[in-house]
C-alpha cells in the first residue's frame, strides 16, 4: 500500500518528467527557489506564514520506496537509469524561511530552498501544498481572533474540510492563529491542542424528553457539561436547564455552558442569559455556533451579545471568502546566475533574496524591504536557517510556544492592518539594487530577442 500522505508520488507528474530531463543532461548545479504570494486576497491586510514544520518533516523523510519505484518502472515512461537515480534520491539542500507564525506581505519570499536543481525542483508541489493550505486557513482564522479578543474560539470545521489532512491541519493552523482549541480529537493527541466537545441535536432527538436527554448527557460527562438547547425551543430549553440544575448540584455536576446553534443568536443569547441568571446559573456560559465567520462574530461582539465563546467551522476551514492564495515557488538563481520569469503579469524578482523589516518607536511594523541576500539593508532579516544539508538546524518548537509567538507577531502590526476591512497597504519596498538587476536582465533579454 502507498502511504497517502508521505509518498514521494504525492507530487505532479511534471516534476518527474523534468527530473528525468535534468538527470539525462546532468543538470545538477545549485538552484535557488523561493516561495511567495503575489497578492493579498480581498479584505486581507496581511498573511500568516504557517506550515513550516510539516515542510521540514516532508523534506527530511523524502525518498522513493521500492513499491513506488516499481510502479514508476511499470509505466514505461522512465528510463532504467532514472529509476536507479530515484532509488537514492534524498533532499540534501538548505532551507531558509520566515519563522512559523511570522506576518508577511505580497512578493516577500517566506521560504528559500537552495539545493541541486533536481532536488529543489522536485519538492515544489508538496511544499506549495503544505505552505499554501495552512497559511490560507491561519490567515482567515486570525481575523476571528482579532474580532473577538478574550473569547473562547473553537475550530468546528473538520466534518466539512476538504479531506482528512485538511481537517487536521486546519485545527493546527487555527490554533496557531489564536483559536482556543479544536473539536478534532486527533489534533489533541498529535499536538496537545486543547479539544472541546458539546453534543449534537441527534442526542436530544434520540430521547423522548429533552430534559431527560440533558440529564443523561450530564451524568455521562460530568466534567464537561455543555448542553445544546435549541433543538426545539431555545428559551424553553434554557428553562429546562435551570430546572435540572438543582439535581445536578446534588450530584456535584456543574453545567459549564449552554450552546446556541441557530436563529437570531444575539437575541437568543440575551433571553437565555436572563433565564440562566434568574435561575442562579450566573457561572454557566453561553457558546454559539452555526455558519459563523469573522464578520458575523464581529457583529455579535459589537452589539454586545452575551456570548462567551464561538464554534467556527466550515467558513474558516475552507476559507470560504478567499479559498486560495495566488502563490508560487519559482527558480530565482541557477548555477550562480540570477534567473527571472518574464511572463505577463507573473514576472518575478530575480536572485537569492532576503526580507528586511523595520519597526517604529512603539515596536510596531513600519516597513519591509525585499533585497538581494548579498545586499544587506537596514532592519531585521526575516529569513533564517531552518535546514542545512537536508537536516533541521533545531528541534521542533512546541505548538503552544508557536501560538504565543504568532500572537506577538500579530500584535506588532499597525492597528489599521488588524481591521477586517481593507486598509492602506503596508509598505513593502524593492531595493534599488534588485530593481537594477531586474531592469538589466530585461534589457538583455530584449536585446537577445531583437538579435534573434
How confident is the model over 198-239, as pLDDT tens digits? 999 999 999 999 999 999 999 999 999 999 999 999 999 999
Which one, of 387, 389, 368, lies nearest residue 379 by Cα? Answer: 368
Which one, of 190, 179, 188, 181, lies nearest residue 48 by Cα? Answer: 179
Residues of the chain with pLDDT under 70: 452
With b for 16 or more beta-carbon neighbours within 10 A and e for fewer, the 211-250 pattern comes to bebbbebbeeeeeebbbbbbbeebeebbbbbbebbeebee
Question: What pLDDT was estimated at residue 343?
Answer: 85
Question: What pLDDT was estimated at residue 452?
Answer: 65
Residue that has been written with the C-alpha cell 497578492 in this structure = 39
The alpha carbons of the chain give a radius of gyration, in whole angstroms, of 26
Phi-psi category of 296—alpha, beta or left, where left has phi over 0 and alpha has psi -120 to 50? Answer: alpha
DSSP state of 415: G
Question: What pLDDT was estimated at residue 451?
Answer: 77
SS3 of residue 216 by DSSP: helix
Which one, of 166, 101, 91, 77, lies nearest residue 124 by Cα? Answer: 91
CB atoms within 10 A of CB 346: 11
Which one, of 282, 284, 275, 279, lies nearest residue 235 by Cα? Answer: 275
Tell me which long-range contacts 301-305 makes (C-beta under 8 A, separation of at least 24): 301/147, 301/148, 301/151, 303/266, 305/265, 305/266, 305/269, 305/270
Q: How far is CA 365 from CA 103, 144, 276, 282, in A?
A: 10, 21, 45, 42
- All three cell numbers of 429: 519596498
Amino acid at each position: 500500500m502507498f502511504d497517502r500522505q508521505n509518498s514521494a508520488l504525492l507530487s505532479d507528474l511534471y516534476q518527474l518528467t523534468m527530473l528525468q530531463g535534468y538527470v539525462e543532461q546532468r543538470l545538477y548545479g545549485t538552484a535557488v527557489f523561493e516561495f511567495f504570494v503575489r497578492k493579498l486576497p480581498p479584505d486581507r491586510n496581511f498573511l500568516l506564514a504557517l506550515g513550516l514544520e510539516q515542510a521540514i518533516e516532508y523534506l527530511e523523510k523524502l525518498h522513493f520506496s521500492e513499491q513506488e519505484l516499481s510502479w514508476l518502472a511499470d509505466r514505461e515512461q522512465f528510463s532504467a537509469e532514472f529509476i536507479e537515480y530515484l532509488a537514492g534520491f534524498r533532499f540534501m539542500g538548505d532551507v531558509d524561511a520566515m519563522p512559523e507564525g511570522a506576518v508577511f506581505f505580497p512578493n516577500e519570499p517566506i521560504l528559500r530552498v537552495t539545493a541541486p536543481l533536481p532536488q529543489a525542483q522536485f519538492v515544489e508541489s508538496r511544499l506549495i501544498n503544505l505552505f499554501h493550505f495552512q497559511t490560507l486557513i491561519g490567515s482567515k482564522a486570525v481575523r476571528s481572533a482579532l474580532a473577538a479578543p478574550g473569547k473562547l474560539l473553537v475550530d468546528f470545521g473538520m466534518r466539512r474540510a476538504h479531506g482528512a489532512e485538511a481537517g487536521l491541519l486546519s485545527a493546527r493552523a487555527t490554533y496557531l492563529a489564536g483559536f482556543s482549541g479544536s473539536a478534532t480529537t486527533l489534533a489533541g493527541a498529535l499536538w496537545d491542542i486543547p479539544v472541546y466537545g458539546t453534543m449534537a441535536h441527534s442526542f436530544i432527538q434520540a430521547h423522548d424528553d429533552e430534559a431527560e436527554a440533558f440529564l443523561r448527557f450530564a451524568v455521562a460527562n460530568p466534567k464537561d457539561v455543555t448542553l445544546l438547547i435549541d433543538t426545539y425551543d431555545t428559551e424553553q430549553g434554557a428553562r429546562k436547564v435551570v430546572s435540572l440544575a438543582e439535581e445536578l448540584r446534588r450530584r456535584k455536576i456543574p453545567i459549564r455552558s449552554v450552546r446556541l446553534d441557530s436563529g437570531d443568536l444575539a437575541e437568543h443569547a440575551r433571553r437565555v442569559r436572563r433565564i440562566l441568571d434568574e435561575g442562579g446559573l450566573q457561572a454557566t456560559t453561553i457558546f454559539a455556533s452555526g455558519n459563523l465567520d469573522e464578520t458575523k462574530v464581529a457583529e455579535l461582539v459589537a452589539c454586545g451579545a452575551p456570548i462567551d465563546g464561538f464554534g467556527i467551522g466550515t467558513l474558516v476551514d475552507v476559507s470560504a471568502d478567499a479559498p486560495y492564495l495566488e502563490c508560487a515557488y519559482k527558480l530565482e538563481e541557477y548555477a550562480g546566475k540570477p534567473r527571472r520569469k518574464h511572463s505577463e503579469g507573473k514576472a518575478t524578482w530575480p536572485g537569492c533574496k532576503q526580507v528586511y523589516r523595520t519597526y517604529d518607536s512603539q515596536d510596531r511594523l513600519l516597513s519591509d524591504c525585499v533585497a538581494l541576500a548579498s545586499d544587506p539593508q537596514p532592519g531585521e532579516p526575516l529569513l533564517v536557517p531552518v535546514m542545512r544539508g537536508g537536516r533541521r538546524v533545531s528541534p521542533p518548537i512546541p505548538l503552544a510556544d508557536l501560538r504565543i509567538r504568532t500572537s506577538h507577531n500579530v500584535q506588532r502590526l499597525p492597528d489599521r492592518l488588524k481591521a477586517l476591512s481593507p486598509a492602506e497597504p503596508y509598505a513593502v519596498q524593492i531595493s534599488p539594487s534588485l530593481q537594477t538587476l531586474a531592469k538589466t536582465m530585461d534589457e538583455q533579454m530584449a536585446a537577445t530577442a531583437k538579435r534573434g
